[in-house]
Structure 1
């Protein structure tokens, strides 16, 4: 089937996920704006708290700052556009704008997975090899891991966007609140096997990252059970990480499964919640979970942390 658009036409996608009336759109706008600003605020608060307390020399807190920065990126890939759409009568997005939103969302997902894997490795070394921790997790190595996290995430996203941009399209209707990779792929006029294969490769990559994290924590739990001090360390630094991982993985899994196999005839509210949960909840919940230990963090000197 030939593309409905030629190279000179500007493609404008129509988003069909939003359904608000004139009477309540301002209520939704204020609520979502407050939620967005609060998400940015608590992430920045945790970042500044760590840097002002000079804890940026501790690997765990550097990775936590990276997680918060990525949370801001993830939230910003969704909130500004939905806020604009709520006040607008037409919910549209340009082709370039759509690809940009897909890229930023992609980057957030891949960076989150990779950073959580690195954090698991850091906790494994801290608890299972405490005497060698500062020899293994040097500041130079930590910054290298953070740099590689961003670079690999950028490369994965760039390749995904290249594969998406090559597809000729035969439609402009996206049944979602925002532009997502699979939603655009479904509009293609040609075979999308290459895109599906790349998606499968990334899925297996994330699966193996999850296995790596779980193996790390199996070893951590074994050591933590041996002493009260290690159990306390596990509860303070590892449990929040596990909660973060479980929340992100489950929300992303439901979104992917629903996007591919869900019914468009189901409740709109349910579809919207499942579509945005991984973009809204982790950036909001992660700094709250880790921030609960801030009073404990401030009482400890960085050189005594692991």
Structure 2
């Protein structure tokens, strides 16, 4: 039967299965991850907002990163908890598209944030004398605004194209809603979706290339400078590179699993790989930056223990 996606009242998430008592173990893990993620990100946002010494572009970009991780986690974790407790794994069409919007904007804002942070470190390390001129608070605020505005507009267009498709079914073989899974259900022509997807992918690749280029320049300066400047640059950039690598690997796992037949891979592993980039990154970053950036570490100790 061919129907518009707007005529479908719900989607069925077929990746869920009867796990018996393991269901409650999964529930505890997901709930614990969500609580830890919320607490860690909120704590670091409070630390940055309460300390004027951290009101520098670098830490404002970090604050934007932590806010995005709260946003992305809230778009996924409560949904997973409800689905684990439910015996019928369905989601209304409107909620499904809302989740796609949250998940996809989270991913795009994450990449844009990492790109802006890499540009900030590039100016600070490669052009230190011009840093204060180029990276003013106004410039930082503008970059943060673009970091959030561009993904939101891009994903609105993406979802509008998907919502107008005629679909032949409503079964999504995942544990959460995914735009590509809905496009695969289409009976109508998806040429416009594919063309937009190509431009969307090219834009994302350009962002990744920008990040790689800036860090290549940073590493070049690191290895050509004195030992002290090299150590300082490496200690500053290590968290950014680790965050980028972790998030990129998670996205790569998800893309491979969505595009290729992975039936030979155990179901639990497939579910873990599809959730990794959405569940581990929001907890990974606060721990990474909280432990590695000296100013944040000192301020955290000051806030918790009441002294410096």
- CA distance in 1 between partners of 2:292 and 2:53 (Å): 14
- Alpha carbons 2:8, 2:170 under 8 Å: kept: no
Deviations 1:37-72 (A, max 9, x none): 101111111111112222442000000011111111
CA separation of 1:262 and 1:73: change in aligned 2, threshold 3 A? farther
Partner of residue 82, structure 1: 80
Deviations 1:175-223 (A, max 9, x none): 1000001111111111212212222212111111111111111111121
Partner of residue 255, structure 1: 254
With the length of structure 2 as denominator, give the TM-score of the two structures: 0.92
- Alpha carbons 1:55, 1:61 under 8 Å: kept: no
Superposed, 1:1-306 pairs within 5 Å as 3-4=2-3, 9-225=7-223, 226-297=225-296
- Alpha carbons 1:17, 1:175 under 8 Å: kept: yes
- CA distance in 2 between partners of 1:20 and 1:90 (Å): 11
How many residues are paired up? 298
RMSD between aligned residues: 1.8
For the residue of structure 1 that corresponds to 2:167, the secondary structure is coil
- Alpha carbons 1:11, 1:172 under 8 Å: kept: no
Unmatched 5+ stretches in structure 2: 300-308
Deviations 1:89-122 (A, max 9, x none): 0010000011001011110111111111111100
- CA distance in 2 between partners of 1:126 and 1:20 (Å): 53
Q: Using the TM superposition, give the Cα deviation of residue 4 of structure 1 relative to its aligned residue in structure 2, in angstroms.
A: 4.1
Comparing 212-221 with 120-129, greater Cα deviation is found at: 212-221
- Alpha carbons 1:116, 1:241 under 8 Å: kept: yes
Unmatched 5+ stretches in structure 1: 301-306
- Alpha carbons 2:5, 2:163 under 8 Å: kept: no
CA separation of 1:296 and 1:56: change in aligned 2, threshold 3 A? closer
Deviations 1:238-263 (A, max 9, x none): 11101111111111022112101133
- Alpha carbons 2:5, 2:165 under 8 Å: kept: no
Deviations 1:148-200 (A, max 9, x none): 11111111111111111111111011110000011111111112122122222
Comparing 98-107 with 72-81, greater Cα deviation is found at: 72-81
For the residue of structure 1 that corresponds to 2:166, the secondary structure is coil
Comparing 224-233 with 188-197, greater Cα deviation is found at: 224-233
- Alpha carbons 2:4, 2:164 under 8 Å: kept: no
- CA distance in 1 between partners of 2:4 and 2:121 (Å): 52
CA separation of 1:103 and 1:299: change in aligned 2, threshold 3 A? closer
For the residue of structure 1 that corresponds to 2:155, the secondary structure is helix
- CA distance in 2 between partners of 1:87 and 1:125 (Å): 49
